[in-house]
Amino acid sequence: MKLMRSVTAVIALLLAQTAFAQVNGAKGDIASIISRGELRVAITAVDQPPFYFTGKDGKLAGYDIDLATKMADEMGVKLVITRDAPAFNDLVTLVSSGEADLAVSKLSRTLSRSRFIKFSSPYMTFKQGLLFNRLQLAKVSSESEIHKYVRSYRGTLGVIANSSYANYAKDNFPEAKIKEYPTWDAAVQALTNGEVLSLYRDELEIKRVLASIPNSSLLFKPVYFTDLTDPIAVAVKTENTQLLFWVNIFLENQPKMTADEILAKYAGQ
């Protein structure tokens, strides 16, 4: 009986020590980040304002940079940004291989990407939309009939290569003639030149184009969908469940912002 009490006491002590160690970060994927002293966050090589871009002072700025900075501060470590991803899909490779702890890079949460990494809860959700060249649109449909026209869309549709919208386009507009461009700026230029009838992306990027080009209302016609959304989330390595849990709690405590609020906050930086 005395031996049994001693064994029970030892087991209880070990369990208590294990619980204490886990609470204080002595074990788990977060502990490796803390012991390293760095939170490695991946973003794409190409700027995506207002989420991340080089500011007037030559430093990275934007919503995602602020978000990643807060995460690193909460962990008490240095933020290290890696920009080795040429396109959005390459972010998944960096996270799944462990080269980056997180991707905080306006990354759309898609079914195909979730085969390789885990996503946090969305920290932002946008409407999907089309941006039409008005001159080209007038040749195929009246503006009063545009919503009927887009549901059976067969025109040319510009998207960014290796992006979520390249996949969304195949699923949502199977009859469209899809053209892929290396960057959003290249796609916008193609739309302006009349090379494509419309572009396909989220409401924020469409509004950013409309705000940045003089007389844009004469050149372009936006259409937003209420039933097609684009959830933006943080990517985490599949095995890093503790880190994913932490990220979700962190995001729950962040203020929610609309596309218009983000554009207004980071304008002019």
DSSP 33-61: HHHHTEEEEEEESS-BTTTBEE-TTSSEE
Q: In this predicted model, what pLDDT tens digit does every residue of 27-48 receive, in sequence order?
A: 689 999 999 999 999 999 999 9
Q: 4: which DSSP letter?
A: H
44-77 tens-digit pLDDT: 999 999 999 998 889 999 999 999 999 999 999 9
pLDDT exceeds cutoff 60 at 167 = yes
Output the pLDDT for position 15. 40
Q: Which two tokens stand for residue 47?
A: 């700027």
Residue 187 predicted with pLDDT over 80: yes
- Nearest alpha-carbon partner for 125 in 146, 113, 112, 109: 109
Which tens digits make up the pLDDT trace of 75-96? 999 999 999 999 999 999 999 9
CA 211 to chain CA centroid, Å, is 22
* Whole-number pLDDT of residue 53: 95
CB neighbourhood size of 249 (10 A) = 12
Residue 266 in this model has a pLDDT that exceeds 70: yes
Say yes or no to pLDDT of 26 above 50. Answer: no
Q: Residue 267: which pLDDT band, with cuts at 50, 70 and 90?
A: confident
Sequence-separated (6 or more) residues with CB below 8 Å from residue 87: 44, 160, 161, 162, 163
CB atoms within 10 A of CB 118: 20
* CA–CA dist 117, 109 (Å, integer): 10
Q: Rounded distance, CA 125 to CA 144, Å? A: 28
Residue 151 banded pLDDT, cuts 50, 70, 90: confident
pLDDT at residue 2 tops 90: no
Q: What is the residue-wise DSSP string for 144-201?
A: GGHHHHHHT--SEEEEETTSHHHHHHHHH-TTSEEEEESSHHHHHHHHHTTSSSEEEE
238 pLDDT tier (thresholds 50, 70, 90): very high
pLDDT of residue 28: 85
Residue 147: its pLDDT value, please?
Answer: 86
Measured between its terminal Cα atoms, the distance across the chain in Å is: 72
The predicted pLDDT at position 180 comes to: 97
Contacts of 218 (CB under 8 A, 6+ apart): 134
Note the pLDDT tens digit of each residue in 96-132: 999 999 999 999 999 999 999 999 999 999 999 999 9
The answer to whether residue 22 scores a pLDDT higher than 80 is: no
Q: What's the average model confidence in pLDDT over 151-177?
A: 94
Unique residue bearing structure tokens 């849990």? 245
Q: What is the mean pLDDT of the chain?
A: 89
Alpha helix positions (H), 24-145:
29-36, 63-75, 88-96, 134-137
Strand 38-44 to 102-108 pairing:
parallel
* For helices 63-75 and 241-252, angle between their N-to-C axes, nearest 10 degrees: 120
- In which band, very low, low, confident or very high, does the pLDDT at 193 lie, cut at 50, 70 and 90? very high
